[in-house]
Structure 1
Amino acid sequence: MRDLRFYASLLLRRLHWLILLTLIGTMAGLVVARLITPIYEANALLVVEGERIPDQLASSTVQTDTNAKLQVIRKRVLARDNLLDMARRMDLYPGLLTASGARDVDAVFSALSNDLSIEITKDAGSGGDRKNATFMTVSYIAGSPTRAAQVANELVTRILKEDADIRTKAARDTLDFFSREVDRLNAELAKSSAAILQFKQENSAALPERLPVLRDQFAALQLSAPQLADQIKEIEDQKDRLIRRREVSGKEVDLDAIYPPAQRDLARLEAQRDALRQVLPSDDPRIAALGAQIVELGAGASVPLAKPASAFEERLRALENDLFAARARQEAAEVQMAQLQTEIAKVPANAAALEALQRDHENLLDQYGRATKSRAVAETGDTIESLAKGEKLTVIDQAVAPNEPVKPNRKTITIAGFGAGFVLGLLLIVGRELLNPGIRRPEDLQRQLGITAFATLPYIATPADLALRRRQFMISSGMVLGALIVVLVLFGLLYMPLDRIF
């Protein structure tokens, strides 16, 4: 206990040195904190704002993942060419030069990359299954607060531009794709319709819908075949009876004289041509061949057919012509039946081919319908993005010039100076006492001389001692007061005006 009182009294006698060194350390901390070049940091905060139009009414066609989109934006903004362009336009780091005096682009890019920061964070929603809000923080450090704010805001401007470009380009690319798809499918539909029409025109006689008609016609021809045979037989019988009656009357019948062979062949060919014209197209080779034969026979006949000399000759010629016409009709019926059989045989293959064409056409129609709907949705999405009504980045806090630097921490340096001065003062007091060999207590007599004191007398100060103590007290008080005044002045000049405190 006595030791504590003794050391406390020593500390009180040397307290002025402790205060003085503490004030000096504080002054040194204030000066050092001011002399270090300050570094200012400007921050801007952006948030991903959701779509302003409900998805139930109209939705944007840009459905990219928010975090992935922000990562792409950050990569684009931090790209080398982009940063160098920003450094050139804003004249950043003018002192970074090569040995030749040219701008050191590698050093500029490295310095700018180190001084800026773009961070993406998420903040959990307040309840339930709400989506987390996504934020983007843009920071830039510089020796000037104004420059830090300018560069941070420039970065924000570029980020907003990249976000708008990504969304509008995605919406426009989607619209262009579906517009081209609609045009392509429209052209394909036109080709498909033309192919179906051409197929029907080329196979008009053997289409599936005509199969019942073809079968009815074939059945009708089959039914008419015996009638045509009976008709030919009837004409031949009439001709035979007419000739026999003529011969019974004693007159000889010379058919070649009554109806010359050349004229008969000409009539027969004309009857065949007229009958085939009813069942064959006009450009059919058989009709053309018959026409050529008729022209050849007509040119070879030197004498035209004379008028019949009697009713018998006229009737015989008429029966011969009827026989030619009936046989021509029979031949035409056979040709028509062969045609119908061919067409009926073609119907299944034509039906399959037509079904394939129609199926492809229906598929194209379905694709065209879906593409048209998708184009309408893409047009709506493009309008939403052009009006900035979709999901987008919005600035919450614009970067402003900071009032305080982030480096150095002046408070920490000042407090460190204060602590260093205080510790140095304590060390000075302790060291001085440890190095003082004088005897100031009875315990010192016993420890140093090995004797035990029966009694001790206090030191009696002389007037000279008192005067010396007063002078030392005045000097030490003046030094402490001066140091305190210097600390306050430095604090007011370098850190904060005193009128803001008091």
Structure 2
Amino acid sequence: MSERRYELTAADYLSIARRRWPFLVFPFALAVVAAVAMALWIPPVYKSTGTILIESQQIPDELVRSTVSGYADERIQVIQQLVMTRENLLRIIEQYNLFPGLRNELAVSEQVDMVRRKVEVAKVIGEAPSRNRATMAFTVSFEDGSPGVALAVANELITLFLEENVKTRTARASETTQFLKQEAEKLKHELEAIEERLALYKQEHSGALPEHLDLHMKMLERAENAVAELQREIKAAADERRFLELELSAIRAGVTDADSAGQALTPEQELVQAEAELARLQSQYLPRHPEVQRQQAIVANLRDQLGLASGEPGPDVDGIAAAESIEVARVRTRISSLDNRVASLRTQLAQQDAERQRLEEIIIQTPQVQRALVSLERDRENTLAKYTEIQSKEMEARLSESLEEGKKAERFSLLEPPLKPEVPIRPNRKKIVAFGAMFGLALSLGLVFLFEMMDRRVFGAGALSHLIEEQPLVVIPYIQTREEVAQRKRMYKWVSLAALLGAVAVLLLVHFLVMPLDLLAIKFLSRLG
């Protein structure tokens, strides 16, 4: 026996096919029929899709800037959440009678979830990372077993997206305007309160305002000069009154009369005259002045002559003269006038000194008042700047709101309306049948290979020659019996039936997957005619 492996020839493969044809035909036919049945049994799903275009703002941003900003993806997601609310989806389910056979079996939340799974929102054109004026679009799709329902619901969703976009943008612009208006009112009240505090503070410290500082400094200088002048005048008046008192004492002692008559003075008269001269010198010079010291020595000598101790009062002037002369009355009048003048000067001095002190206090308070005013003015300027800025933003928000209401801002527009689908998106019947055919072919070949491997018999002259390593003299073909012939005829009938069923399946595939048979016939006849 040969140890080499026998290589099958084309005749051997043909012999195997004739011998194992039931394992080739029936599994393949069953797989194809099962695939066709499955393709026809799975309910079709139709998808209707509409495209919405996001148009950029019609008016340049440099003129009017919209207050509704953000990336397109974010806006689409927000609007999708608003459209896909439970209330809207339940209304759509009721309006278009979705899930007619499952309405009583499914909970409301399950129905809503099923609708959400049937809706698809997809971006068509990407947007750059930075916000620009690039145009983009997105699609809204709905899937259903009925093409009419898919179209109707897709149209409803498109309408909701368009309406919700307008409503959302208008509401956001209006909310922005109202917010800025409220902030402007708050800042206005705050500004009025600061201005009221500022006016009240200026009123309370009207005398110590910084803008009056130069005037107060000049007034203080004039007051100080006036005080010094009044003090000098009071001192001069006091000196004059002291001299008049001495003159009055001399007159009473007869000093004046004696001098005018050329008579010798008595020691008492000399003492009075010396003391008057001493008083006059003391009013003019310091105590260490030689004239003052000399006059003091004269007064002391006269007192020694009269036997008067130092500090003892001098002679009684009233006793020297019995009656006052006209000169005495004149001196007294001058003294009285000086007293009145000194009193008036002291009153003026008190007034000027009080005015000086008041001005000094005002000048001292001025820096504090200035700091407080600077703080209030700074608060007022800051608040005014904020108020002006908010007013400007409020005006821009009002323009933006008008822009949104006039549909001149960024908007959604229907680019492609949904169409009634003609071909279901699934199941893919061609793929199912093709997969069934490939599976049937693989199954048939696998069964044939399995049975051939398990069969230990020798088939064919070539295999026999390889086995015995000798060529047979004569090859007699297989002679069938009557029973085998009858069995073969029955097999032909089954094969014919299977072929007929296969033809019917092919026609069904063509009718449902390619083109209806009536249309195909009309098309074929039109080409022939």
Same fold (TM over 0.5): yes
2:113 aligned with 1:107, yes or no? no
CA distance in 2, matches of 1:41, 1:382: 37
Structure 1, gaps ≥5 residues long: 249-311
Question: Per the alignment, do residues 55 and 124 of structure 1 end up closer, same or farther by CA in structure 2, a change over 3 Å counting?
Answer: closer
2:75 aligned with 1:56, yes or no? no
Q: Deviations over 1:199-237 (max 9, x none)?
A: 222222221111221122222233333555638976996
1:41·1:139 contact (CA, 8 Å) conserved in 2? Answer: yes
Q: Which residue of 1 aligns with 2:42?
A: 36
Q: Deviations over 1:352-372 (max 9, x none)?
A: 211221121122222222222
Q: Which residue of 2 aligns with 1:368?
A: 387
Query: Which amino acid is 2:211 matched to?
Result: E
C-alpha displacement of 1:341: 2.3
Question: Which residue, 190, 195, 198 being the options, matches 2:197?
Answer: 195
2:52·2:413 contact (CA, 8 Å) conserved in 1? Answer: yes
Question: Which residue, 67, 71, 83 being the options, matches 1:65?
Answer: 71
2:72·2:127 contact (CA, 8 Å) conserved in 1? Answer: no
Question: Per the alignment, do residues 38 and 322 of structure 1 end up closer, same or farther by CA in structure 2, a change over 3 Å counting?
Answer: same
Q: Deviations over 1:58-106 (max 9, x none)?
A: 322233233333343444444555544543454433444568xxx7223
CA distance in 1, matches of 2:394, 2:444: 83
1:73·1:162 contact (CA, 8 Å) conserved in 2? Answer: yes
Question: Per the alignment, do residues 400 and 328 of structure 1 end up closer, same or farther by CA in structure 2, a change over 3 Å counting?
Answer: same
Q: Which residue of 2 aligns with 1:385?
A: 404
CA distance in 1, matches of 2:32, 2:104: 42
Structure 2, gaps ≥5 residues long: 1-6, 253-329, 525-529
Question: Per the alignment, do residues 207 and 21 of structure 1 end up closer, same or farther by CA in structure 2, a change over 3 Å counting?
Answer: closer
Query: Which amino acid is 1:386 matched to?
Result: E
CA distance in 2, matches of 1:451, 1:223: 160
Q: Percent identity?
A: 26
Question: Per the alignment, do residues 215 and 413 of structure 1 end up closer, same or farther by CA in structure 2, a change over 3 Å counting?
Answer: closer
Query: Where in structure 2 are the equivalents of 1:389-400 lying within 5 Å?
Result: 389-400=408-419
Q: Which residue of 2 aligns with 1:139?
A: 141
CA distance in 2, matches of 1:75, 1:95: 28
Question: Per the alignment, do residues 90 and 58 of structure 1 end up closer, same or farther by CA in structure 2, a change over 3 Å counting?
Answer: same
CA RMSD of aligned residues (A): 5.2
SS of alignment partner, residue 123 of structure 1: coil
C-alpha displacement of 1:373: 2.5
Q: Which residue of 1 aligns with 2:208?
A: 206
Question: Which residue, 344, 361, 369 being the options, matches 1:350?
Answer: 369
2:192 aligned with 1:186, yes or no? no
Query: Which amino acid is 1:223 matched to?
Result: N
CA distance in 1, matches of 2:229, 2:127: 97
Query: Which amino acid is 1:188 matched to?
Result: E
Query: Which amino acid is 1:347 matched to?
Result: T
Query: Where in structure 2 are the equivalents of 1:298-317 lying within 5 Å?
Result: none
Q: Which residue of 2 aligns with 1:336?
A: 355
Q: Which residue of 1 aligns with 2:432?
A: 413
Query: Which amino acid is 2:406 matched to?
Result: L
Query: Where in structure 2 are the equivalents of 1:232-311 lying within 5 Å?
Result: none
SS of alignment partner, residue 149 of structure 1: helix
Q: Deviations over 1:122-167 (max 9, x none)?
A: 6377xxx989876544333222122223333333333444444443
Query: Where in structure 2 are the equivalents of 1:432-443 lying within 5 Å?
Result: 442=461
CA distance in 1, matches of 2:491, 2:361: 140
CA distance in 2, matches of 1:62, 1:349: 49
Query: Which amino acid is 2:365 matched to?
Result: K
Query: Which amino acid is 1:210 matched to?
Result: H
TM-score, length of structure 2 as denominator length: 0.62
Q: Deviations over 1:217-266 (max 9, x none)?
A: 222233333555638976996xx89xx8xx99xxxxxxxxxxxxxxxxxx
1:58·1:380 contact (CA, 8 Å) conserved in 2? Answer: yes
Query: Which amino acid is 2:110 matched to?
Result: A
Query: Where in structure 2 are the equivalents of 1:318-333 lying within 5 Å?
Result: 327-333=346-352
CA distance in 2, matches of 1:351, 1:213: 15
Question: Per the alignment, do residues 460 and 407 of structure 1 end up closer, same or farther by CA in structure 2, a change over 3 Å counting?
Answer: closer
Question: Per the alignment, do residues 422 and 359 of structure 1 end up closer, same or farther by CA in structure 2, a change over 3 Å counting?
Answer: closer
Question: Per the alignment, do residues 98 and 459 of structure 1 end up closer, same or farther by CA in structure 2, a change over 3 Å counting?
Answer: closer
2:237·2:342 contact (CA, 8 Å) conserved in 1? Answer: no
Question: Per the alignment, do residues 5 and 351 of structure 1 end up closer, same or farther by CA in structure 2, a change over 3 Å counting?
Answer: same
The structure with the larger Rg is 2
CA distance in 2, matches of 1:124, 1:191: 49
TM-score, length of structure 1 as denominator length: 0.65
C-alpha displacement of 1:185: 2.0
C-alpha displacement of 1:412: 2.0
